[in-house]
Amino acid sequence: MNDSVNKWIDAHLDEYIEDLKNFVSINSVQGSYEQGKPFGDGPFDALNFAIDLAAKYGFAINNYQGYVGTADLDPSLPRSLDMLAHCDVVPAGEGWTVTEPFKPVVKDGRIYGRGTSDDKGPLLCAMYAMRAIKECGVPLKKGVRLIMGSDEETGSTDIAKYYAVEPEAEMTFSPDAEFPLINIEKGQFRAEIAKTFEESTALPRLVSLEAGVALNAVPQKAVIRLEGFDMTLAEEPMNLVSKECGVSCEQTGVQEITITGVSAHASTPELGKNAGLAAMMLVSKLPLAPCEQLDVIGKILKLFPYGVTDGQGLGIKMCDEESHDLTCTLDLYHVTTKEVSVQFDSRTPVMATKENCEDVAAANVSALGLDFISKGMVPPHRVPGNSPFVKTLLNAYETVTGLKGEAVAIGGGTYVHELKNGVAFGAVMPGIDTRMHGADEFFELDNIVTATKVYAEAIIELCS
């Protein structure tokens, strides 16, 4: 380990925190396209903040038409290592208690705010690792580039633009996950299940059910609106669903019920309490006038039983030794008097194929008389766990933390999913749920220091 670099990192934590506060204060949820601002004002402002910060710290910068920014530690060296992070965030969502999503605060050894751990905080860990090496005068023989994107949460079209004009580095890691290291990312399979029908005017009826803010997040909140309904008849079903599902059901209007669950990332849906599914369960228990809308909701509950997150209802439950279980979660809900539309997000193991996954789901949905709309499957990503690159990163992690390093598989997809020699490497320490994509997202200050030191060590080992 380089003592001068580690001491520099310790000494600059307060400065890092101020930079992260300013960064997180920018609401960088995707907005509407404008000329020069491909993802709207927020991601544009956040990207330019990061680029300007890199310039301030003496790095050579480049802006790729508002899609991506880069910072090179020493552009005269041959490009060898890329670090790939992002400036955009998922929507703020409901249920924040420690602070407002874009008003970051430091409390009890943590910094809270949307993007603190996904991915503005880790991006700055990588930048500060570069800065520490630069300001401590550590000589390198190979080039290091920090790539800063602005569309990771909504499709990664930014990175497609970048790699259309730039080659891949021989090694890439993304500080957008957890330590020790992720060398396998499951495939992804998303689809919509829908049905339109004749409107039934018979009362009492369900007017609307809405839930979900992003396809890659278990919905925390659902709202049911009814018409011609005696709300006293909802009391017992609400209590039943609250108890069965571990959610809260509350009357929030004359004929309105709000269900509050627990959000979770779509790659770990078992950690959430799905408010959308709980809302559908509640609707199925209310004494409403029979209609096709309610029949469709019943069919969806057969495909997605509450608490079942392994795809069993769709007939696609599977598991392999290398990448483990398939996960599946229903995350977007739109129900009116004339249509039902829901969308699911499934993370598929290495063994999943079109034949044993997509085709099976489509057949089972169609058998219930529902429409199935899929854009196909995204294949899994795998880098050999015994490669010199992976071994060096794990060695850097072990050297700094004293913890055992190992390569693991996850259900989440990161920026490196399409890169031949790309892995996800931190920045969150093992066993810590930073509530990314949920309310009260945070990043621990000790974790910040450790991650920055790990990245500095990795850069030195790979590029000296």
Residues marked active site are found at 88, 152
Which residue type sits at 66?
G
C-alpha to C-alpha distance for 172 and 187, rounded to whole angstroms = 19
Which of 379, 360, 380 is CA-nearest to residue 313? 360
- 109/13 Cα distance (integer angstroms): 12
User: Mapping DSSP to helix (H, G, I), strand (E, B) and coil, where does residue 421 land?
Assistant: coil
Main-chain dihedrals φ then ψ at residue 272, nearest 5 degrees: -105, 175
Distance of CA 124 to the CA centre of its chain: 18
CA–CA separation, 389 and 172 (whole Å): 9
Q: Which amino acid is at 186?
A: K
Residue whose token pair is 């874009």: 102
**Beta bridge partner(s), residue 251:** 257
| Helical ranges in 267-387 per DSSP H | 275-285, 292-303, 359-367
CA gap 68, 70 in Å, rounded: 7
Instruction: Give dist(CA 1, CA 398) in Å, integer.
Output: 11
282 φψ region: left (φ > 0), alpha (ψ -120 to 50), beta (else):
alpha
